[in-house]
Amino acid sequence: MAFAYTEKVMDHFINPRNVGEIDNPDGVGEVGNAKCGDIMKVFLRVEEGILTDVKFKTFGCASAIATSSMATEMIKGKPIAEALALTNKAVAEALDGLPPVKMHCSVLAEDAVKMAIKNYYDTHGINYDAALFAGLEEEDDHGDLIMED
């Protein structure tokens, strides 16, 4: 099945930004989709509440890689509160759209970021409103399996 990808999607797929791992990260989030096999892992470095470095490793299709790349670009250098406000729709819009059957990739990107922030909070003993992360530990309504380390 062929999809019409935007130039931005193709650019982030062919030239992904922020690929790799962070040694001794402050937070890590891993999510996957059992239906398509995509797996995303996001690594965070946090200094004084700012995401000073963000990296990702993704196993998946062009949309999965592009949304991972774009999501990391959108939150790098931002305060944690701004990163928590990231939505899958904002990621898709920043890529000038995704084919409807690939929107779940933008959901994975949002969930991976939020899971990494949750991991940061948990490992650093930071209190948070559990509602911010509701639904991240089970299969969500898109079939995405949220995994915890």
- Tell me, what CATH number does 121's domain have? 3.90.1010.10
pLDDT digits (tens, 9 = 90+) for 25-69: 999 999 998 788 899 999 999 999 999 999 999 999 999 999 999
Is residue 102 within 8 Å of residue 84, measured between CB atoms? no
Instruction: Tell me whether residue 36 is one of the annotated catalytic residues.
Output: yes
For residue 78 the two structure tokens come to 């931002």
Which of 85, 90, 31, 83 has its CA nearest to residue 58? Answer: 31
Instruction: Tell me whether residue 61 is one of the annotated catalytic residues.
Output: no
Asked whether the predicted pLDDT for residue 105 surpasses 90, the reply is yes
Instruction: Kindly report the average pLDDT of the chain as a whole number.
Output: 90
Domain assignment of residue 2, yes or no: no
Name the β-bridge partners of 82. none
d(CA 7, CA 4) in angstroms, rounded, equals 10
Which of 105, 107, 109, 117 is the catalytic position?
Answer: 105
d(CA 28, CA 43) in angstroms, rounded, equals 5
Domain assignment of residue 14, yes or no: yes
Asked whether the predicted pLDDT for residue 135 surpasses 70, the reply is yes
Domain assignment of residue 92, yes or no: yes
Residue whose pair of structure tokens reads 């931005």 in the numeric block: 8
What local confidence, expressed as pLDDT, does residue 148 receive?
46
Q: What is the sign of the dihedral through the CA atoms of 75, 84, 27 and 77?
A: positive
Domain assignment of residue 121, yes or no: yes
For residue 104 the two structure tokens come to 């779940």
Domain assignment of residue 68, yes or no: yes
Domain assignment of residue 125, yes or no: yes
Q: For the chain, how many structural domains are there in total?
A: 1
Domain assignment of residue 35, yes or no: yes
In terms of residue numbers, what domain contains 12?
A: 7-140
Domain assignment of residue 1, yes or no: no
Which of 61, 146, 149, 51 has its CA nearest to residue 107? Answer: 146
How big is the chain, counted in residues? 149
Which of 36, 46, 54, 94 is the catalytic position?
Answer: 36
Burial of 92 (0-12, 13-18, 19+ CB in 10 A): buried
